[in-house]
């Protein structure tokens, strides 16, 4: 039971020392208020608001055309590299404000007061920036001992940031134009190479016109040979029929006269005609075989010429399409360069950052917070005084217990 904490005892101790606790609390709060009010140099904060307006910078390269199998030109699905330009995102601009280079520019900026305004301090003030609600807004804040000085520093920082954004925007446009110039040069080189391949093919290899002439000539010869074969077949059929008729006549005619001394002249004439007809048929057969051989050789040459012509036409068409693709890519690159150059000319002197709210001198300092400091100091004094009172009471109780025990012992000894 002796180890249990009696909260009523602690409350009684604190209540007995309430004047001490209240005095310490009031003294701590008054001291903190006085120091914050008179000893600490006040800090005023002013802010200005800017909005980011992106310029029409080219985001991607010119589309690349490709030749499909069906002979149509379509835009290639292959990804193209984006333009390597300086980002003007609000977060990037906020990072610029806190950079060493920007602080160096701020240090070089002349900030002279007007009228009764106090002059700026020799030291560089605290300048911060933040993105407002993830929008295209950037808030620039400056802290200074005097309200007018804080407003001037905030406006000066915003002005410097606008100039820096203008410089970055110009650099971004120049990089985009430089990239487009590279694309134009590459497209022009590709066009010249495609034209060179087409001219080299037309100059070195057999031309399509020459192959077409050879094909037409050989096709005419094939037709002539085929007509000659048809004519020979007709002559062979007619000569064979004539020979068979003569042979039947020979069979019906007597070979010798009735006296048997001489050959029948009619039979001899028919026999001579039959021999001549056989010779003519043999000549026709020989001619037909020769014509067939020549026709077969000519058909092979015609097939080779046709295959060569098809290959030449396909290669010529492919080279022509390559020239057309390169020409269209070159024209697109030139058109994009002209459009980007016009956009640059239209935005000349403009900035991608605009001030939408100027900083004004604040009416009250942001630091120190006198009331808050006094309240915190009072609470700390209250806790310290309560703790001191309780500790003093703990030291006092053992001493009183020892004196009481000594008095009891002495009284018992007297008795």
Q: What is the CATH number of the domain that holds 211?
A: 1.10.287
Give the residue numbers spanning the domain of 327: 207-332
- Predicted local confidence at residue 54, as pLDDT: 60
Same domain for 173 and 117:
yes
The verdict on 310 and 285 lying in the same domain is yes
Distance CA 80, CA 183 (A): 12
Cα separation of 291 and 312, whole Å?
Answer: 31
pLDDT in tens, 194-216: 999 888 888 887 788 888 898 99
The confidence score (pLDDT) of residue 355 equals 86
Q: Is 297 found in the same domain as 243? A: yes
Identify which has the larger pLDDT, 87 or 54: 54
68 and 185 share one domain: yes
Q: Has residue 240 been placed in a domain?
A: yes
Residues 227 and 233: their CA atoms lie apart, in Å, by 10
Query: Does residue 148 share a domain with residue 131?
Result: yes
Report how far residue 140's alpha carbon sits from residue 162's, in angstroms, rounded to the nearest whole number. 12
Contact yes or no for 250/266 (Cβ under 8 A): no
Q: Which of 332, 359, 377 is the last residue of a domain?
A: 332
- Residue 119 has a pLDDT of 45
The confidence score (pLDDT) of residue 336 equals: 84
Residue labelled with tokens 């004094």: 381
- In angstroms, the CA 362 to CA 304 distance is 95
More confident residue, 262 or 100: 100
Residue 222 is predicted with a pLDDT of 92
Q: Where are the alpha helices (DSSP H) in 35-146?
A: 90-97, 100-108
Contact 354, 169 (CB under 8 A): no
Q: Is 144 a member of any domain? A: yes
% of the chain surpassing 90 pLDDT: 17
Residue, of 123 and 175, whose pLDDT is higher: 175
Collapsing DSSP states into helix, strand and coil, what is residue 134?
coil
Note the pLDDT of residue 70. Answer: 47
Question: pLDDT tens digits for 357-380?
Answer: 898 888 888 878 888 888 998 899
Q: Which of 288, 311, 332 is the last residue of a domain?
A: 332
Verify that 287 and 248 share a domain, yes or no.
yes
- 82 and 65 inside one domain: yes
Q: How far apart are CA 127 and CA 105, in angstroms?
A: 12
Domain match, 360 and 372 both:
no
Q: Are residues 167 and 256 in the same domain?
A: no
146 shares a domain with 132: yes
Residue with tokens 């048809």: 230
Q: With respect to residue 229, please indicate whether it lies within any of the assigned structural domains.
A: yes
Round to whole Å and give the CA distance between 31 and 29: 5
Is residue 337 one of the residues assigned to a domain?
no
Does 63 fall in a domain?
yes
Cα-based distances in Å from 370 to 31, 37, 366, 375:
11, 6, 10, 9
Pairing of the two strands 73-75 and 126-131: unpaired
Mean pLDDT of the chain: 77
Q: Tell me: do 84 and 181 sit in the same domain.
A: yes
pTM of the model: 0.49
Q: Which of 111-125, 265-279, 364-378 has the lowest mean pLDDT?
A: 111-125
- pLDDT bin (cut points 50, 70, 90) of residue 53 is confident
Task: Lowest mean pLDDT of 61-70, 174-183, 284-293, 302-311, name the range.
Answer: 61-70
Identify whether 287 is preceded by a cis peptide bond (ω within 30 of 0).
no
Q: Residues 375, 363: one domain?
A: no
In this predicted model, what pLDDT tens digit does every residue of 302-331 receive, in sequence order? 999 999 889 888 888 898 998 998 999 899
- Which tokens in the block code for residue 201? 């093919």
**309 compared with 134, residue with greater pLDDT:** 309
The tokens for 344 are 């640059």
> What is the reported pLDDT for 287?
92
In angstroms, what CA-CA distances link 296 with 5, 40, 221, 303, 357? 127, 116, 11, 11, 95
> How many domains, in total, are found in the chain?
3
pLDDT band (50, 70, 90) for residue 104:
confident
The set of residues, in sequence order, having a beta carbon less than 8 Å from that of 81 and lying 6+ positions away, is 60, 61
**Confidence at 102, pLDDT banded by 50, 70, 90:** confident
Tokens 């050789």, residue? 297
Q: Using pLDDT thresholds of 50, 70 and 90, give the confidence band for residue 253.
A: low
Single out the residue in 332, 353, 386 at which a domain terminates. Answer: 332
Of the given ranges (3-17, 53-67, 140-154), which has the lowest mean pLDDT?
Answer: 53-67
Residue 143 lies in a domain: yes
Residue 340, domain member (yes or no): no
Give a yes or no: residue 75 inside a domain: yes
Say what the pLDDT of residue 71 is.
43
């Amino acid at each position: 039971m002796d180890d249990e904490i009696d909260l009523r005892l602690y409350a009684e101790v604190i209540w007995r020392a309430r004047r001490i606790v209240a005095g310490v609390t009031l003294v701590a709060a008054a001291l903190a208020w006085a120091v914050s009010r008179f000893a600490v140099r006040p800090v005023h904060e002013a802010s200005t608001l800017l909005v980011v307006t992106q310029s029409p910078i080219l985001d991607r390269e010119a589309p690349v055309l490709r030749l499909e199998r069906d002979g149509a030109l379509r835009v290639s699905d292959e990804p193209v590299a984006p333009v390597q330009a300086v980002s003007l995102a609000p977060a990037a601009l906020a990072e610029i404000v806190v950079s060493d280079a920007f602080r160096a520019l701020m240090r070089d900026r002349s900030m002279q007061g007007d009228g009764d305004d106090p002059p700026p301090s020799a030291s560089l003030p605290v300048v911060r920036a933040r993105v407002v609600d993830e929008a295209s807004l950037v808030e620039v804040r400056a802290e200074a001992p005097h309200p007018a000085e804080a407003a001037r520093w905030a406006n000066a920082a915003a002005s410097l940031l606008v100039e820096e954004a203008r410089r970055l925007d110009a650099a971004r446009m120049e990089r985009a134009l430089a990239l487009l110039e590279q694309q134009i040069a590459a497209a022009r080189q590709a066009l010249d190479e495609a034209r060179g391949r087409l001219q080299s093919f037309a100059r070195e290899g057999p031309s399509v016109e020459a192959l077409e002439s050879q094909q037409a000539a050989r096709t005419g010869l094939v037709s002539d040979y085929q007509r000659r074969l048809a004519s020979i077949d007709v002559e062979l059929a007619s000569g064979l029929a004539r020979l068979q008729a003569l042979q039947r006549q020979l069979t019906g005619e007597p070979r010798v006269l009735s006296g048997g001394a001489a050959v029948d002249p009619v039979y001899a004439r028919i026999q001579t005609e039959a021999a001549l007809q056989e010779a003519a048929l043999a000549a026709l057969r020989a001619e037909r075989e020769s014509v067939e051989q020549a026709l077969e050789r000519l058909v092979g040459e015609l097939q080779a010429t046709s295959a060569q012509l098809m290959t030449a036409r396909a290669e010529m068409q492919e080279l022509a399409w390559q020239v057309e693709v390169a020409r269209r890519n070159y024209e697109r690159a030139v058109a994009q360069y002209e459009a980007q150059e016009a956009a640059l000319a239209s935005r000349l002197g403009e900035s991608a950052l605009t001030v939408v709210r100027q900083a004004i001198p604040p009416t009250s300092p942001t630091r120190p917070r006198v009331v808050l400091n006094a309240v915190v100091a009072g609470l700390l004094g209250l806790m310290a005084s309560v703790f001191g009172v309780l500790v003093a009471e703990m030291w006092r109780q053992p001493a009183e217990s020892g004196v009481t025990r000594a008095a009891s012992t002495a009284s018992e000894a007297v008795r």
